[in-house]
Amino acid sequence: MIGKVRRVLHLLENSLLVTALIAMLLIAIMQILMRNFFDSGFLWAESVLRILVLWVAMLGALVATREKNHITIDALTRFLPGRKIILLVSNLAAGVICGVVAWYAFEFVGYEYQDQTVAFGNVPTWLCQSILPVGFTGMSLRFLITSITGLFD
């Protein structure tokens, strides 16, 4: 059961990441072509591209954390004995830090929801920024799970 949920979650993450990246490329290419050949463009394109960059970055960070391909500082694990303990502490620290950032991201998105600001068209800002708490919560959980499972490897 857990394996099936994990596969669905991974498929959802990968699909969202690929969709956001393709949308970002298509909008940017269309904007360039329209400006160069038709002296026009989409008024909302720059706003959407900024938001898509945020989504691609957060989804990419989630996938990197899942695959354990995120940026690490492993100088301590190379030179000191007790590699498991060092990995446990660093994963716990990363999990706690991502959890704190997720907490404040939830708060930030809540303020945006209360303010009812609009990012572009009729799309509210809080919806565009909702990837922040979701992404940091996901990374926090992954770091914490990795630190626990790392004890049994």
* pLDDT of 53 above 70: yes
Question: pLDDT per residue over 93-122, tens digit each?
Answer: 999 999 999 999 999 999 999 999 998 889
The Cα–Cα gap between 139 and 107 comes to 18
Domain range for 24 is 2-150
* Structural domain count, the chain: 1
Question: pLDDT per residue over 16-39, tens digit each?
Answer: 999 999 999 999 999 999 999 988
> Quick one: which H or E segment has residue 120?
strand 118-120
pTM of the model: 0.87
Contact between residue 47 and residue 119 where contact means Cβ atoms under 8 Å apart? yes
